[in-house]
């Protein structure tokens, strides 16, 4: 295995690499860095999002430019302001031991005179978005007539965003004999044509197979009636209390609408789209980065720049028009060695598109059911139990304990537990008890399933914490129970517990095996869940009561901590949700969590 040193990097860069904690080069770095260091060549490099492309071009560029000269020698074009700033930051970090280095970011939405001033001081490397760059070249604020290296980063994204003309214009001001380094996650024909037009015999390197999404992402789809889309979204969020997600909508309007509705319904959500001012976007992104916003609702264009690790779920509220876009969306999760889930909410008329996406990404989707009300109640209940278990005690309350004890003196531990849970749970239960089944039937589609079967849903007290995902848990159960391939289904893994189904005929076997079962010395218990999982339940009448329900009810960020406090929701959106006198706290009154980002439990 190669090291950064063996790739040919200089000592001052190696020192920065050590400081940053990078241990070994990623595949794209391993392939690109030696070539770029040794040859003056054009290159086309295809690698998924999150594979370390910035360093793959950043290090060679830093090593090759002359920091003693004030001439602009390297230009990096990137699609969005966010990315532009990110790349600039990375380069500044990589080059912190390069004396005299000046990397300047050029992007729209900020003062052009300030940027021009910075350039004037002498910038060896400029990182720019195409629009602003073209503008500044036009105003003769920037001279790129002597650049030696030009990087087209996220080329597919730039072309998607309609920057073809701008790029052509910009490059017409650069020398013929420069080297052009193109980096892209995918290779649509537009990128191929730009490579052909602007590059000379480029060396092509590919990491992984082209257009295939990463293995760390599993793909799921949920079939609902179009009018239930929003309710389905909420259920998915409720069934995943620790969700940290990007929700993709197709239009700015839908993006705004869904975000507003989520906020009204008490979720920590935010909107990101092009009609917002740059300042508004920055605020949303900041809240998202530090986890104050758990659900970022975004358009594809606006989300281009998002490079946030640890996103647990990408939710396709609507499918994109272009399949290619799906790859970009799902690539927002499952980064940096973590696993992630890409969920698609589809209506009957769109379900065929799933097959087309499967073909493109060469991965299978799992058809899953929108969780029923009872299942969500159970998830939230156990989540509450775990939150209580993991809560650090706040000793500020010590002085009130005698009085509190006096009030509660007549209750046993058991009664107290029941009461504590009822405080949150009754409310929750009332919202969900009559919730209807949101799953639409597939009709004649390819994705019909065992919905009419006599089925039992089980709860089991192992989950993601024990290193299971749905596939490994399914395998584990099948092996243990000695059942056939399709006999264990609807496996849903949460953090510290999971659900699965078998046909009723296997119920005795399952309960028997788990009657007294230990895994690594720990008692594993399986119980029949009240929810049958997906369809086939009663309670189909009436409207969904979950509207306006306190999703945060069992999870909170009060007191600057991640677990423990109970977030209360704002009042609902004018529906009939029960009101809890004195319990609902307005959002603005909610304790702010200050910088708890790093404390959030990382998912692996």
CB closer to Mg ion out of 27 and 169? 27
CB closer to Mg ion out of 151 and 376? 151
Q: Which two tokens stand for residue 267?
A: 């979720």
Q: Going by DSSP bridges, is the β-strand pair 74-77/125-128 parallel, antiparallel, or unpaired?
A: parallel
Stretch in the footprint of ligand ADP (CB under 6 A) among 19-27, 191-199, 262-270, 376-384:
19-27
Three-state DSSP state, 297: strand
Q: Is there binding between residue 79 and ligand ADP (CB under 6 A)?
A: no
Angle at 224 between CA 434 and CA 272, to 5 degrees: 100
| Partners of 125 in the β-ladder | 74, 103
Contact in structure between 118 and 104 (CB atoms under 8 Å):
yes
Q: Going by DSSP bridges, is the β-strand pair 217-223/340-346 parallel, antiparallel, or unpaired?
A: parallel
Residue 584 interacting entry, from ligand ADP, Mg ion, none, C-beta within 5 to 8 Å by type: none
Stretch in the footprint of ligand ADP (CB under 6 A) among 25-33, 243-251, 483-491, 566-574:
25-33
Q: Is there binding between residue 537 and Mg ion (CB under 5 A)?
A: no
- Residues 288-317 contacting Mg ion, CB under 5 A: none
CB closer to ligand ADP out of 192 and 336? 336
Q: Is there binding between residue 22 and ligand ADP (CB under 6 A)?
A: yes
Q: What are phi and psi of 75, to 5 degrees?
A: -125, 130
Q: Is there binding between residue 329 and ligand ADP (CB under 6 A)?
A: no
Residue 208 region by backbone torsions, left for phi larger than 0, else alpha for psi between -120 and 50, else beta: left
Three-state DSSP state, 603: coil
Smallest gap, in angstroms, from Cβ of residue 50 to ligand ADP? 5
Smallest gap, in angstroms, from Cβ of residue 153 to Mg ion? 6
Stretch in the footprint of ligand ADP (CB under 6 A) among 52-60, 223-231, 310-318, 423-431:
52-60
Give residue number: closest CB to Mg ion. Answer: 53
Angle at 521 between CA 520 and CA 524, to 5 degrees: 85
**Residue 43 Cα distances to 7, 187, 207, 263, 381, angstroms:** 17, 13, 13, 46, 54
Q: Is there binding between residue 336 and ligand ADP (CB under 6 A)?
A: yes
- Pick from 52, 130, 270, 564: which binds ligand ADP (CB under 6 A)? 52
Q: Can you tell me the distance from the alpha carbon of 427 to that of 429, in angstroms, rounded to the nearest whole number?
A: 5
Residue 25 interacting entry, from ligand ADP, Mg ion, none, C-beta within 5 to 8 Å by type: ligand ADP
Q: Is there binding between residue 49 and ligand ADP (CB under 6 A)?
A: yes
Length of the chain: 604
Residue 130 interacting entry, from Mg ion, ligand ADP, none, C-beta within 5 to 8 Å by type: none
Q: Can you tell me the distance from the alpha carbon of 577 to that of 579, in angstroms, rounded to the nearest whole number?
A: 6
Q: Is there binding between residue 53 and ligand ADP (CB under 6 A)?
A: yes
Q: Which two tokens stand for residue 555?
A: 């999870």
- Residues 281-320 contacting ligand ADP, CB under 6 A: 307
Q: Can you tell me the distance from the alpha carbon of 325 to that of 322, in angstroms, rounded to the nearest whole number?
A: 5
Residue 55 interacting entry, from Mg ion, ligand ADP, none, C-beta within 5 to 8 Å by type: ligand ADP
DSSP letters, 486-513, are: TSSEEEEE-SS-EEEEEEGGGHHHHHHH
Q: Can you tell me the distance from the alpha carbon of 188 to that of 208, in angstroms, rounded to the nearest whole number?
A: 16
Handedness of CA 234, 236, 239, 244 (dihedral sign): negative
CB closer to ligand ADP out of 42 and 90? 90
Smallest gap, in angstroms, from Cβ of residue 204 to ligand ADP? 17
- Pick from 16, 33, 46, 50: which binds ligand ADP (CB under 6 A)? 50
Stretch in the footprint of ligand ADP (CB under 6 A) among 51-59, 110-118, 228-236, 522-530:
51-59
- Pick from 2, 8, 12, 26: which binds ligand ADP (CB under 6 A)? 26
Q: Can you tell me the distance from the alpha carbon of 286 to that of 293, in angstroms, rounded to the nearest whole number?
A: 9
Residue 336 interacting entry, from Mg ion, ligand ADP, none, C-beta within 5 to 8 Å by type: ligand ADP
Count of beta carbons in the 10 Å neighbourhood of residue 250: 16
Tell me how far the alpha carbon of residue 290 is from its chain's centroid: 13
CB closer to ligand ADP out of 191 and 488? 191
Instruction: Report the interface residues with Mg ion, using CB under 5 A.
Output: 53
Instruction: Report the interface residues with ligand ADP, using CB under 6 A.
Output: 22, 25-26, 29, 47, 49-55, 307, 336
């Amino acid at each position: 295995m190669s090291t950064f040193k063996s790739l040919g990097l200089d000592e001052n860069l190696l020192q920065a690499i050590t400081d940053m904690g990078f241990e070994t080069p990623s595949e794209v770095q391993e392939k690109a860095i030696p070539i770029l260091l040794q040859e003056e060549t054009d290159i086309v490099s295809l690698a998924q999002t999150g594979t370390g492309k910035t360093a793959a071009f950043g290090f060679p560029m830093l090593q090759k430019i002359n920091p003693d000269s004030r001439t602009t020698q390297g230009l990096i074009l990137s699609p969005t302001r966010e990315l532009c700033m990110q790349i600039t930051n990375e380069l500044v970090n990589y080059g912190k031991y390069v004396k005299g280095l000046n990397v300047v970011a050029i992007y729209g939405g900020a003062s052009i005179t300030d940027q021009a001033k910075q350039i004037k001081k002498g910038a060896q490397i400029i990182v720019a978005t195409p629009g602003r760059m073209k503008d500044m070249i036009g105003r003769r604020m920037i001279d790129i007539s002597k650049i030696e290296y030009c990087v087209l980063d996220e080329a597919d994204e730039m072309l998607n965003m309609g920057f073809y003309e701008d790029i052509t214009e910009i490059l017409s001001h650069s020398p013929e004999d420069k080297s052009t380094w193109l980096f892209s996650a995918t290779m649509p024909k537009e990128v191929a044509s730009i490579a052909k037009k602007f590059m000379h015999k480029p060396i092509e390197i590919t990491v992984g197979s082209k257009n295939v999404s990463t293995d760390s992402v599993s793909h799921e789809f949920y079939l609902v009636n179009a009018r239930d889309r929003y309710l389905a979204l909420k259920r998915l969020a409720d069934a995943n209390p620790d969700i940290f997600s990007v929700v993709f909508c197709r239009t700015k309007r839908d993006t705004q609408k869904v975000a507003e509705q989520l906020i009204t319904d008490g979720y920590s959500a935010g909107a990101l789209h092009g009609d917002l001012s740059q300042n508004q976007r920055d605020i949303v992104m900041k809240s998202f980065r530090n986890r104050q916003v758990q659900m970022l609702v975004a358009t594809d264009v606006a989300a281009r720049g998002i490079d946030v690790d640890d996103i647990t779920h990408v939710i396709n509220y609507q499918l994109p028009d272009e399949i290619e876009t799906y790859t970009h969306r799902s690539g927002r999760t499952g980064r940096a060695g973590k696993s992630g889930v890409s969920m698609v909410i589809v209506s009957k008329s769109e379900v065929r598109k799933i097959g087309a996406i499967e073909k493109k990404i060469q991965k299978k989707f799992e058809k899953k059911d929108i969780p029923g009300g009872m299942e969500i109640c159970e998830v939230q209940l156990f989540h509450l139990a775990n939150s209580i278990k993991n809560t650090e005690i706040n000793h500020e309350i010590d002085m009130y304990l005698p009085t509190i004890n006096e009030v509660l003196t007549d209750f046993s531990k058991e009664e107290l537990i029941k009461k504590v849970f009822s405080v949150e749970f009754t409310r929750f239960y009332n919202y969900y008890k009559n919730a209807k089944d949101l799953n639409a039937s597939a009709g004649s589609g390819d994705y019909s399933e065992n919905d009419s079967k006599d089925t039992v849903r089980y709860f089991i007290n192992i989950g993601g914490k024990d290193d299971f995902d749905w596939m490994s848990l399914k395998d584990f159960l099948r092996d243990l129970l000695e059942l056939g391939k399709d006999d264990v289904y609807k496996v849903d893994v949460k953090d510290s517990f999971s659900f699965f189904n078998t046909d009723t005929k296997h119920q005795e076997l399952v309960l028997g095996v788990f009657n007294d079962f230990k895994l690594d010395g720990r008692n594993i218990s399986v119980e029949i869940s009240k929810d049958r999982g997906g369809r086939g339940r009663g309670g189909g009448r009436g409207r969904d009561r979950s509207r306006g329900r306190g999703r945060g009810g069992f999870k909170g960020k009060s007191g600057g901590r991640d677990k423990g406090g109970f977030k209360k929701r704002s009042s609902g959106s004018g529906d009939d949700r029960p009101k809890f006198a004195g319990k609902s706290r307005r959002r603005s009154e909610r304790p702010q969590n200050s910088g708890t980002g790093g404390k959030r439990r990382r998912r692996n």
